[in-house]
Chains A and B, each alone.
Chain A
Amino acid sequence: MIEIKGLTKKYGTFHALDNLNLTLGEGTVFGFVGANGAGKSTTFLIMATLLQPTSGDVFIDGVNVRQNPAAVRKMIGYMPDFFGVYDQLKADEYLDFYGASYGIPEAERKVLIPQLLELVNLSHKRYDYVDLLSRGMKQRLCLARCLIHDPKVLILDEPASGLDPRARVEMRDILKTLKQMGKTILISSHILLELAEMCDEIGVIDNGRLIAHGSVAAIQDKLRGERVITVRLVGPLEKAIAFFEEEPFVANLEKTDAEDGLTFTYKGTAEEQVSLLKRAILNDVLILSFMEHMTDLEDVFMAITKGAE
């Protein structure tokens, strides 16, 4: 569905994008992670036909963005990181304007607009002026606007930035619905955790270069050297301590504050981790819970980007 070949964007001597290559299949939800200024928005701007690349090509459903931008515009729904709304337009008029801009007949728009407002939970704000909506509502309305022409690809640049936790959850739920609808979604964020839950694939960009790309699990495995595991046990801990101390990939074994558990770092693969749990049970270690911590993702991201420097 999306193919990016050798995409480069230079501003003088500065490389905003440096030979970016990426291929995404149809229906993929791709998370683009990187620090501010890493090149996420530049990539999206080029894909949205708003910025000319210095070299390289982007193909969306086989159509070259540089050769046929008008055809690409019909296939994409673009949501910029910062966007404004028109004063004195109501929510349904806002969607109606963009629907007309995509050449959707008026009769069709009348049916479509209530459905889209329903999708983004804004039916009750249909006749409210857009500039009076909260930021979260504006973000959701903009997402509905992206969908008005039923695009195959959604390009969402930091859709959850500046939202409160509740609005973030609402946005995430809508994106899950869109994922179920089979849309190919590109979503950027500088917060890795925000994307991990909903994305099929993740790409990490730093200084204009794609430094990691793959499934969330693969990226986690590839990029982090170790994971933190907490085990809660029933009965005395000595037997469990003796067992885990013998394991080759276990390190930093400690008792937890709760006194009924152990925590350790593990450097083995996912398969080896499964095997570890199985052996523990076979060795009569009474395990109540065996939990891997996800909180180190941000640290991992920091480590990768630092490594890339």
Chain B
Amino acid sequence: MKLNNPVLFKELKLRFRSVKSFNGILFYLIAMCIFVFGFIFTTMNITGVSYFRPSESFILFTLLAFIQLGLVLFITPGLTAGTISSEREKQTLPILLTTSQSSLQIITGKLMASIAFLLLLIVAGLPIYSLVFLFGGISPMDFARVFLFLFVTVLAIGSVGVLFSTLIRRTVVSMIATYGTMLFLSIVTGFLFLIAIQMSAYSYFGTGASSSSIVGYFWAAINPAVLFASILSPEVGNGIAEMTQVEFPIWVSYLLFYLSLTVLSLVVAIKRLRVNMKRTK
């Protein structure tokens, strides 16, 4: 991948010339502001005091991290699932594919442009996060970890979006597939974790033996909400380790799974972008 990536620069140019992009940032920040100021206002009204405690600030940070995770998970498929298929629909893809740019350059350029916009969203939301620091209760390390895992999650979902966009001709179908994957990873895995734990407990019921559920651990480890909960509150991680009898750190499994998903999606997308002229049918 060259630093001078024409697709990346073209995409950035097009994206930031669009009014839709600025509207997107505006609505994202409005949503975050409503939540933060609403939370502070409600908390102070309920507690009946005119100040904000560091412990409440931590709760605010946790909720803010989940809200941001939700928003970013919701936005990412919309930004990435049409990257290639929309070029195909607009009939600009054949011309692009006859240029000297490698498939790697095209795919990474598309992904990086979308990720750059998501990073802008996150950076634009930093002043809102800074309110949390004002009231204390959060370490910069907590903050860095949340953003690191947010970035890893966005990268993986974005790569899946680019993959579906490459494989599926129509943007609408590609969007549905990407949103489906996102919902599976963020919600369905939670249910599967609960089912796996219940089944594990049922199997050992009455035997007195401790139940180990690797399957349950797997579903928990790839769920972004569980991961965020475990990095913000280590008790959650300990609780899952207790339930599943698997001591391996969740964040390591999460990192391995999502980075593998990213690499696999990008490799397949790069392979499938162009016709393999050498293959003989």
A80-B100 CB under 8 A given contacts A66-B278, A88-B18, A93-B13: no
Given A88-B14, A88-B17, A100-B4: A83 touches B275 (CB 8 Å cut-off):
no
Q: Which of B40-48, B88-96, B130-138, B199-207 is found at the contact surface with chain A?
A: B88-96
Shortest distance between the CB of B167 and any CB in chain A (Å): 17
Q: Tell whether A269 is near chain B: CB-to-CB under 8 Å.
A: no
Q: What residues of chain A lie closer than 8 Å to B55, measured between beta carbons?
A: none
What is the CA–CA distance of A69 and B99 in the complex, to the nearest angstrom?
11
List, in ascending order, chain B residues with CB within 8 A of A73's CB: 98-100
- The reply to whether A48 and B92 form a contact with Cβ atoms under 8 Å apart is no
Please tell me if B252 contacts chain A, counting CB pairs below 8 Å: no
Q: How far is the CB of A144 from chain B (nearest CB, A)?
A: 13
Residues in B neighbouring A52, C-beta threshold 8 A: 275-277, 279, 281
Residues of B within 8 A of A70 (CB): 100, 102
| Count of chain A residues with a beta carbon within 8 Å of a chain B beta carbon | 36
Contact B277 A101 (CB under 8 A): no
Q: Which residues of B contact A98 (CB under 8 A)?
A: 95, 99
Bound-state Cα–Cα, A188 to B97, Å: 21
Within the assembled complex, what's the spacing in Å between the Cα atoms of A49 and B94?
10
Minimum Cβ distance to chain A for residue B90 (Å) = 4
| B13:A102 contact, CB within 8 angstroms | no
How many residues of B are in contact with the other chain, CB < 8 A?
A: 29
B10, CB-defined interface residue at 8 Å: yes
CA–CA, A230 and B271, complex, Å? 62
Contacts of B275 in A (CB 8 A): 49-52
Partner of B281, one of A45, A54, A97: A54
Shortest A12–chain B CB gap in Å is: 12
Closest-CB distance, B55 to chain A (whole angstroms): 49
* Cross-chain contact A89 with B95 (CB below 8 angstroms): no
Report yes or no: B91 in contact with A84, Cβ–Cβ below 8 A. Answer: yes
Q: Is there an interface contact between A101 and B6, defined as CB atoms closer than 8 Å?
A: yes
| Chain B residues with CB below 8 A from A93, complex form | 13
Max chain B C-beta neighbours (<10 A), residue from A93, A100, A149: A100
- Complex A-B, nearest 10 residue pairs according to Cβ-Cβ distance, in ascending order: A101-B99, A100-B6, A84-B91, A84-B90, A88-B17, A66-B277, A78-B98, A84-B92, A101-B6, A69-B277
Contacts A65-B277, A66-B278, A89-B10 known; list 14 others, CB within 8 Å: A48-B94, A48-B98, A49-B274, A49-B277, A52-B276, A52-B281, A78-B95, A78-B98, A86-B10, A86-B90, A97-B9, A98-B99, A101-B7, A145-B95
